[in-house]
Amino acid sequence: MTTDVSAGQPATIDFWFDFASNYSYLSIMRIEAAAAQRGVTVRWQPFLLGPIFQALGYTTSPFVAQKEKGAYVWQDMVRECRKYGLPWVRPSAFPRHSLLALRVALVGVQQPWIGEYCRQIMLRNFAQDRDIASADDVGEVLTQLGLPAAQILAEAQGDANKLGLRRQTELAQARGIFGAPMFFVGDEMFWGNDRLDDALAFCATMNA
Amino acid sequence: MTTDVSAGQPATIDFWFDFASNYSYLSIMRIEAAAAQRGVTVRWQPFLLGPIFQALGYTTSPFVAQKEKGAYVWQDMVRECRKYGLPWVRPSAFPRHSLLALRVALVGVQQPWIGEYCRQIMLRNFAQDRDIASADDVGEVLTQLGLPAAQILAEAQGDANKLGLRRQTELAQARGIFGAPMFFVGDEMFWGNDRLDDALAFCATMNA
């Protein structure tokens, strides 16, 4: 299906994600190719899931707080990654500290490197079992992409960008986001990697 | 794909459900036809979700306890029912009291009427917005199916069957079940209607 842009706005999906979220890993790896197939543009919306969970009464990930659900999730991830042909190593630390990596993502949301940056951060977390917290961790990913790591890290940690990420999280909360990944097509909300294809199909239909 | 029964055990999926659960509605309506297509036998496993949620610290359905998630779920159900071609009316009472209807299901698990009985109870709850709690409610469904309602209701409310349903719920807890619908293929656990097709595919592969 192609999108008839002349019929209205270009088809756009808002993609809310946190690098700490294992189901966001699946969507981050898949979304650019899947969206391109349907003529849909991805708007990357990094945010911090932690404060959202805290407001819902969780002190950590629900997958950690609920032992049974947590055990299931790792089983499910093995099968899901096999289904999508993605590498998978269960992280020895979960959820990983994602604040700096998300701040860098916010710097990149309008840049051509955003998709590949997000994929490399997620592979590091969920396929290589490596930390993504420090400037060294994130800088290594940026450098590998041929980007000016020091300059981007400085911008990411500047006051304006810090405030920007805080605003993203507040906006997520205001929109009723309670988990990740979350997709919006206009006001229509779709929760979880399991709904990515439905969200893209809906998006393409809305703009056809 | 067909199942080569001579290769081992007949392919069987254990289907754990509660009539109070809206996502169980989707699976109850779909599972017999989907399983038949893959040569898989359904083993119906009614249980009470309430005590499981209580043990996890919920005093009601998580969809009621978490306002944001609850609002989302009803939006999701509209889309999911459209996707599967199922009727849908948001129940004015949720979760509905399902104890008696589940006791009757336990009476029927080995009977040819189990599938149609479960579908009619679920349509009553999620497509007709009618109660499923009383002997009149459940008896009406049984009578419509041409079954001896009084006799089945008496057996359902006998001590042995009451104990049987309690044991089902204990078994569910012992197996690590934390929600519904839940599917088991051997020891492999699959959670939610979103995983029904994966569970059936896995089941067919295991026994091919």
**Which residues lie closer than 8 Å to B103 by C-beta, 6 or more apart?**
B156, B157, B161, B162, B165
- The pLDDT of residue A1: 41
Task: Give long-range contacts, CB 8 A cutoff, 24+ apart: A57-66.
Answer: A60/A95, A61/A20, A61/A94, A61/A95, A63/A22, A63/A94, A64/A94, A64/A95, A66/B56, A66/B178
* Percent helix, strand and coil across chain A, each to the nearest 5: 55, 10, 35
For the segment A115-136, the average pLDDT, to the nearest whole number, is 98
**Does residue B156 contact residue B107 with C-beta atoms inside 8 Å?**
yes
- The pLDDT of residue B9: 65
The SS3 of residue B122 is: helix
| DSSP bridge pairs for B204 | none
For residue B99, the 8-state DSSP code is: H
Could you report how far apart the first and last alpha carbons of chain A are, in Å? 8
Of A24-28, A203-207, B20-24, B107-111, the range with the lowest mean pLDDT is: A203-207
Exposed e or buried b per residue across B83-121, where buried means at least 16 C-beta atoms within 10 angstroms of its C-beta: eeebebeebeebbbebbbbbbbbbbbeeeeebbebbbbb
Q: For the sheet with A41-46, list strands across it.
A: A41-46, A12-17, A182-185, A188-191
Closest CA to B69 of A189, A187, A157: A189
Q: Is the pLDDT at A6 greater than 70, yes or no?
A: no
For the segment A80-98, the average pLDDT, to the nearest whole number, is 97
- The pLDDT of residue A57: 83
The SS3 of residue A129 is: coil
**Rounded distance, CA A18 to CA A149, Å?**
21
**Rounded distance, CA B102 to CA B2, Å?**
32
Q: Letter for the amino acid at A143? A: T
Residue range A9-206, CATH number: 3.40.30.10
pLDDT in tens, B15-43: 999 999 999 999 999 999 999 999 999 99
Closest CA to B99 of B25, B146, B46: B46
Q: Is the pLDDT at A164 greater than 60, yes or no?
A: yes
ipTM: 0.90
The SS3 of residue A95 is: coil
Sign of CA dihedral B25, B84, B194, A26: negative
**Does residue B176 contact residue B160 with C-beta atoms inside 8 Å?**
no
Could you report how far apart the first and last alpha carbons of chain B are, in Å? 8
More confident residue, B95 or A204: B95
- The answer to whether the CB atoms of B189 and A75 lie below 8 A apart is yes
**Does residue A17 contact residue A181 with C-beta atoms inside 8 Å?**
yes
- The answer to whether the CB atoms of A176 and B76 lie below 8 A apart is no
Pairing status of strand B41-46 against strand B12-17: parallel
**Does residue A1 contact residue A188 with C-beta atoms inside 8 Å?**
no
- The proportion of chain A whose per-residue pLDDT surpasses 90, expressed as a percent, equals 86
**Rounded distance, CA A51 to CA A72, Å?**
24
Chain A contact residues (CB < 8 Å to B): 56, 66, 68-69, 71-72, 75-76, 79, 83, 176-179, 188-191, 194-195, 198, 202
Q: Is B46 exposed, middle or buried (0-12, 13-18, 19+ CB in 10 A)?
A: buried
pLDDT in tens, A136-154: 999 999 999 999 999 999 9
B5-206 is a CATH 3.40.30.10 domain:
yes
* Probe site for chain B from A56, A68, A83, A177 (most B CB atoms < 10 A): A68
- The answer to whether the CB atoms of B176 and A68 lie below 8 A apart is yes
Domain ranges of chain B: 5-206
- The answer to whether the CB atoms of B75 and A195 lie below 8 A apart is no
* Probe site for chain A from B53, B78, B178 (most A CB atoms < 10 A): B178
